[in-house]
Amino acid sequence: MPGTTSTAPGAPRAQAAATPHPRRWLVLAVIAISQLMVVLDATIVNIALPEAQADLGISDADRQWVVTAYTLTFGGLLLLGGRIADYWGRKRTFLVGMVGFALASAIGGLATTGGMLFAARALQGAFGALLAPAALALLTVLFTEPKERAKAFAVYGAIAGGGSAVGLVLGGVLTQYIDWRWCLLVNIPIAVVALFAAIPLVPESRAHGDTRYDIPGAVVVTAGLVSLVYGFTRAAEDGWDATATIGFIVAGVVLLAAFVVIELRSSHPLLPLRILLDRNRGGAYLASTLIGAGLFGAFLFLTFYFQQTLGYTPVEAGLASLPITAGVLISAGAASQLLPRVGAKPLMVAGAALAAVAMLSLTQIDVDSSFVAHLLPAQVVLGLGLGFTFVPLSSLALVGVPEHDAGAASATLNATQQIGGSLGTALLNTFFTSAVTAYLAGRIPDPTTVAQATIHGYSVAFAWGAALILVAGLTTMLLIKVRKEDLATGAVHMG
């Protein structure tokens, strides 16, 4: 899945240090290791999921929790994690986040039931929400000279982008030659190395001022999102008109509405709503949510299609997924050059169109589709679309943001992608399950029919993914009005 780089939630403003920290480049290496661990975890687990599902007896309707339990807690708690890092101490938060992430990985790697694995993934997300903003805030504090800071964030961004590719291959190797559990357990040695290096090297820093936290807001928004996702999951098993399905979806909507009320009344809101009310930023966040919703589920289904339908080994499935990353790297570089010349809107619309075309192409897969003729070009085009979309989004999220809101604004962009991915994965998995059940109704469930039903389910999921991405493109066309001149003067783009 695509990596996202953004400035830290509540990132400290450039506090000009008289003398730069002498070991700042060593600290960057430590932070890079921690970032690699978090990024690896997303793609490694995707490749391991088919074997984990079989090993732990997880149902098709519930398997999406391996993804969504992580993205929900990470996205829901990210802004709170940024404030905790600023006021509790960035080094302390970084260390606690790393230790917690490693322990949660150990629990997941030793899981004996699906529920235990889901809980471990949720814990990983919660500690990741401490680790990621603390790491970014440390970079912002340590690298105050603009050129050095640009280099530091470039290293961080390269790991965010390239780490996902490493995760795909490493996940395949670990799953195929050792055990799927090592896709989680591998975080432990990485965390130990980073931890022992961080303790003597990383300096402590914290912000001053109002140190109150919006705990009610964080709890309510996360509970609302979990309720929505659980409602979608119930729909896969009981139908959309079931009492449980409707009840959890309604509860989720009510809790999210309550979150808005809490934010309006709070003197120290988790998400200042003024950030969302700007037309361009609001449009960027909505597009980001929709794109995340359309894509995360697609990555999940591609993994299962490669391994369960085409019979690829985990290593082959990891390698087969790399064209998306290649496409992203190509178009992200091009988009960075084009953004000052053509502006954000044309790039985002073109990106959404490319990604939607690729997703529609994937609806035509069959039990024996050619990788070179069909799957390779579709994935490259999908990656190209992503790069053209995410680079402008990073700039749009910060256009015209007051300095004291910059951290929250960029963190919100990251959170919207995670939350969109959570909701989209659950929704597309429900559409997949329902489509398979409907296809098999009245048919004899022999191996050929089951295979065709599964392909039908994948096609339906990809079609809905394409629809969500097209709506994201439409949202961009209607709401984004920022000019290319505004990006040059109003955006604070790091990463």
For the chain, 495 residues long, give each residue's pLDDT as a single digit of tens.
Answer: 444 444 444 444 444 444 778 888 899 999 988 888 888 887 888 899 999 999 999 999 999 999 999 999 998 898 888 888 888 889 999 999 999 999 999 999 999 999 999 999 999 999 999 998 888 888 888 888 878 877 887 788 778 767 788 888 999 999 999 999 999 999 999 999 999 999 999 899 887 766 678 889 999 999 999 999 999 989 988 899 999 999 999 999 999 999 999 999 988 888 888 888 888 889 999 999 999 999 887 888 999 999 999 999 999 999 999 999 899 889 988 988 898 888 889 999 999 999 999 999 999 999 999 999 999 999 999 999 998 998 888 778 777 777 667 667 778 888 898 899 999 999 999 999 999 999 999 899 999 999 999 999 999 999 999 999 999 999 999 998 877 766 544 443 333
Are 327 and 383 in contact, with CB atoms under 8 Å apart? yes
CA distance 249 to 230: 8
Residue identified by tokens 């309707």 is: 61
Are 256 and 384 in contact, with CB atoms under 8 Å apart? no
DSSP 25-51: HHHHHHHHHHHHHHHHHHHHHHHHHHH
- pTM of the model as a whole: 0.87
Tally of CB atoms within 10 A around 5? 22
DSSP 337-367: HHHHHH-HHHHHHHHHHHHHHHHHHHTT--T
